[in-house]
């Protein structure tokens, strides 16, 4: 059974929620999936004991989490040596013109500066969780939402995540990992 490490960092929990859905789908596809929060356990993860990696990170104020970026920077050679997949979670992905990997500037900016080269990337819209923000964050995000045409109603939370898109990402990852396993198990032809 292929062992897959699911590595993430989140602030209010939406990236973790997405990753738990991915974990369930990977297990249903026949993989052994283990979840790690790199913000809490980055030094204790033995990456060499895994066959593949799925990483996810949220964006806040235009940047992926610092500890996540440091983790990738420290481990990019291992991540590049095995199948690895990445998803970014941000509120700008709620807009059609920012909802794909090729048109999401936060994802593109991150990919341009990291030495890690994931086999597949995607971007998912996160959640606007006013109820979980401290006063400063609530006011700052409310201003950003006002400037970008988002909800400024702090009395309700809004989930923008497209779960069908998450499901498609999972199916694609599972297919690629299964193809990788099949290719490795096919007998090498003999020369006569």
- Are 9 and 57 in contact by the 8 Å Cβ rule? The answer is yes
- Are 22 and 172 in contact by the 8 Å Cβ rule? The answer is no
Element (H, E) at 87: strand 84-90
Domain boundaries, the chain: 3-126+161-185, 128-159
Q: How far apart are CA 127 and CA 15, in angstroms?
A: 9
Q: What are 11-61's pLDDT values in tens digits?
A: 888 999 999 999 999 999 999 999 999 988 766 789 999 999 999 999 987
pLDDT(190) > 60: no
In the chain, where does DSSP find H-type helix? 14-28, 38-41, 66-81, 105-113, 135-148, 163-185
Residue 192 is predicted with a pLDDT of 45
CATH architecture observed for domain 3-126+161-185: 3-Layer(aba) Sandwich (3.40)
Q: What are 105-155's pLDDT values in tens digits?
A: 999 999 999 999 999 999 999 998 888 888 988 898 889 889 888 888 999
Residue 44 is predicted with a pLDDT of 79
Global pTM? 0.88
């Amino acid at each position: 059974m292929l062992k897959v490490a699911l590595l993430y960092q989140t602030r209010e929990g939406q990236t973790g929620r997405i990753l738990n859905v991915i974990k369930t789908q990977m297990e249903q596809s026949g993989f052994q999936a283990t979840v790690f929060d790199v913000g809490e356990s980055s030094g204790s993860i033995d990456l060499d004991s895994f066959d593949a990696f799925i990483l996810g990170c949220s964006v806040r104020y235009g940047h992926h989490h610092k500890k996540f970026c440091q983790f990738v920077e420290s481990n990019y050679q291992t991540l590049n040596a095995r199948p690895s997949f990445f998803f970014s979670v941000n509120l700008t992905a709620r807009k059609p013109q920012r909802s794909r990997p090729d048109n999401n500037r936060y994802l593109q900016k991150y990919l341009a500066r990291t030495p890690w080269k994931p086999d597949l990337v995607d971007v998912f819209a996160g959640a606007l969780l006013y109820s979980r923000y401290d006063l400063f964050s609530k006011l700052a995000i409310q201003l950003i939402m006002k400037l970008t045409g988002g909800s400024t109603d702090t009395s309700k939370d809004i989930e923008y995540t497209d779960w069908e898109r998450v499901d498609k990402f999972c199916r694609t990852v599972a297919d690629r990992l299964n193809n990788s396993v099949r290719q490795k198990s096919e007998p090498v032809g003999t020369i006569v």
